[in-house]
Amino acid sequence: MMHIKLFNQVFFFFSIILITSCSGNPQLNLSEAVLFPKPVSVSETGSSFELNAKTKIFVTNDSEELLGIGNSLVSILNPATGFNLAVETGSETSKSNSIYLKISDLDTKFGSEGYKLTISEKNIVIESVTVEGVFRAIQTLRQLLSDEIESTQKQEKQWFIASGEIEDYPEYAYRGAMLDVARHFFGVEDVKRYIDLLAAYKINILHLHLSDDQGWRIEIKSWPKLTTIGGSTEVGGGEGGFYTQEQYKEIVAYAAANYITVIPEIDMPGHTNAALASYPELNCDGKSPELYTGIKVGFSTLCTSKEITYKFIDDVVKELVALTPGPYIHIGGDESHVTDMEDYIPFINRVQDIVNSYNKTVIGWDEIAHADLKNEAIVQFWAKEENAKKGVAQNSKVIVSPSTKTYLDMKYDSLTNIGLNWAGYIELDSAYLWTPDTFIKGVKKENILGIESPLWTETITTMDDIEYMVFPRIIGHSEIGWTPTSLRNWEDYKERLIKHTKRLKLMDVNYYDSKLLSE
Ligand code: TNX
């Protein structure tokens, strides 16, 4: 009897060795993966999948769109691995050494962007109800590979992914970033780079602030001087610039390929000096002001009592709508300090009718809540709580962009040498430590569409500047928009961020290296 027991123990011992050495894959812990935004649930199984030159990538549905996403995965994986992976169509999900991208009927809790990611030693299965969800999952998979995957050069190493299961879906449907291309102009390549960086953190909205006092940045064929005159300069007197409609379409398509919706903003009735300088008839006195290259706000207004103003807006909106597959047109509406309230309200009401006549939903800065909000117009809170509440009282949804938390042009501290500080300094902890559904008294979760982080560019002149002000604060914002509040805490976030800086370096991001990351 003793002998048999001993034999059993010895046999058991050796079989364990055999099992673990069978695959030779390291025992990695999926729960320790550094992921941004943090997923809803992660369960580890203590092993790993090896991505190698023979790994196959299958899309299990015969869909061009899914195939496109498969190709975007390949373009993430091939440079650093040096492999020559390609995408195939295949219906089963059981072949070993394979990654499957699959459209499935998942539980409704996953919504349209959620996904399930199952990793075993044998294979990886990504499932979502939509291709968009598969795209979001791929951003997670990318972060599950070691940081060197971000390198553009071939790395001599093995590529393991910890095994287990991730179930993930966003807290808010709208997770945005705004770029002001009016105060300083940024060309198509910069915007594409920005889109790449946003997509990695599951941000799904890019709001482009296309016009302001200092510049008009989108070609409008029926009003050509908007760009030839209005686009000819910027803050500081530089040469400015604008997107031709072809270039703008290129941006919209690039964003769409990254499952990001572009929201164009034409700010009105204030913030319009560039348009007023281009066309004298838009001014009440019929005279054009000089182009403006300073950084004051609140001094300009379209002439709200002239019919030509509404013809102008209709023409602009019509051309913009033709370039905009997304549902929203942003009409600005902020800081119209020289427009009387009795003129402002009918103006905003009429502009809403124009936008609605082209079947688009209006978004405006919180001041628009003074008007009669129509057809579910959306209020973007940036400054005044009572405006957000006025919007909610009119059944509007709110986009939460508090200047004290999300304004990416605010300096980190007194030593930051670009940026402004009128809303205070925003260090990494401050940017992270807040919750949209408790931030504005009287505005609850069900009233909130999501969050957005604006980057105003009065002091921002290069892509390096953009990256410095945006990163890593926006990573925190992406987590606020995606991850349930109950799963978020600063210490855990900070520890992950410290590890993530290595990846940011490999992504060549000029991030702000806060002292909080070396404490
Ligand atoms: C306020 S926020 C503005 C912008 C400025 C920004 C600078 C908002 C709706 N208006 O026009 O660029 O402050 O931080």
With the most atoms of ligand 1 within 8 angstroms of its CB, the residue from 212, 214, 297 to mutate is: 297
The predicted pLDDT at position 95 comes to 87
Answer yes or no: is the C-beta of 295 below 6 A from any ligand 1 atom.
Answer: no
Answer yes or no: is the C-beta of 365 below 6 A from any ligand 1 atom.
Answer: yes
**CATH class of residue range 22-168:** alpha beta
List the beta strands (DSSP E) in 269-397. 328-332, 361-365, 378-381
3-state SS assignment for residue 254: helix
Residue 126 pLDDT level (bands cut at 50, 70, 90)? very high
pLDDT tens-place string over residues 205-232: 999 999 999 999 999 999 999 999 999 9
Residue 334 CA, closest ligand 1 atom number: 9
**234 tagged catalytic:** no
Closest CA to 135 of 206, 89, 67: 67
Q: For residue 266, how far is its CA from the centre of ligand 1 (angstroms)?
A: 14
pLDDT at 16 over 50: no
Contact 79, 159 (CB under 8 A): no
The predicted pLDDT at position 111 comes to 97
Q: What's the average model confidence in pLDDT over 352-358?
A: 98
pLDDT tens-place string over residues 400-423: 999 999 999 999 999 999 999 999
Whole-number percent of the chain with pLDDT over 90: 93
Q: What's the average model confidence in pLDDT over 77-81?
A: 98
Q: Mean pLDDT of all residues in the chain? A: 95
Q: Could you tell me the two tokens for 237?
A: 């007197």
Residue 335 pLDDT level (bands cut at 50, 70, 90)? very high
Contact 370, 345 (CB under 8 A): yes
Q: For residue 155, how far is its CA from the centre of ligand 1 (angstroms)?
A: 44
pLDDT at 4 over 80: no
pLDDT at 3 over 60: no
Closest CA to 197 of 497, 519, 471: 471
pLDDT at 93 over 80: no
- What would be the CATH architecture of the domain defined by 174-518? Alpha-Beta Barrel (3.20)
Across-strand partners of 176?
A: 205, 452
Buried b (16+ CB within 10 A) or exposed e, 279-297: beebbeeeebeebbbeeee
Q: Considering only 58-67, 145-154, 452-461, which range has the smallest mean pLDDT?
A: 58-67
3-state SS assignment for residue 405: helix
Handedness of CA 371, 377, 383, 389 (dihedral sign): positive
Residues 6+ apart with CB under 8 A from 219: 226, 227, 242, 243, 244, 245, 248
Q: For residue 309, how far is its CA from the centre of ligand 1 (angstroms)?
A: 24
- Structural domain spans, the chain: 22-168, 174-518
Contact 107, 85 (CB under 8 A): no
List the beta strands (DSSP E) in 181-302. 205-209, 211-212, 215-216, 261-268
Which residue, by CA, sits nearest to atom 11 of ligand 1? 297
Which residue, by CA, sits nearest to atom 9 of ligand 1? 334
Q: Considering only 7-11, 12-16, 44-48, which range has the smallest mean pLDDT?
A: 12-16
pLDDT at 486 over 60: yes
Handedness of CA 127, 489, 198, 170 (dihedral sign): positive
Q: For residue 292, how far is its CA from the centre of ligand 1 (angstroms)?
A: 16
Q: Which of 113, 167, 234, 335 is catalytic?
A: 335
pLDDT tens-place string over residues 32-46: 999 999 999 999 999
pLDDT at 19 over 60: no
The predicted pLDDT at position 18 comes to 42
**Strands, sheet with 41-51, edge to edge from the N-terminal-most edge strand:** 41-51, 159-168, 115-119, 123-128, 98-103, 56-59, 87-89
pLDDT at 91 over 80: no
CA distance 7 to 130: 53
Location of structure tokens 């095994």: 163
Exposed / middle / buried, residue 24 (Cβ in 10 Å: 0-12, 13-18, 19+): exposed
pLDDT tens-place string over residues 245-281: 999 999 999 999 999 999 999 999 999 999 999 999 9
Q: Could you tell me the two tokens for 84?
A: 């020559």
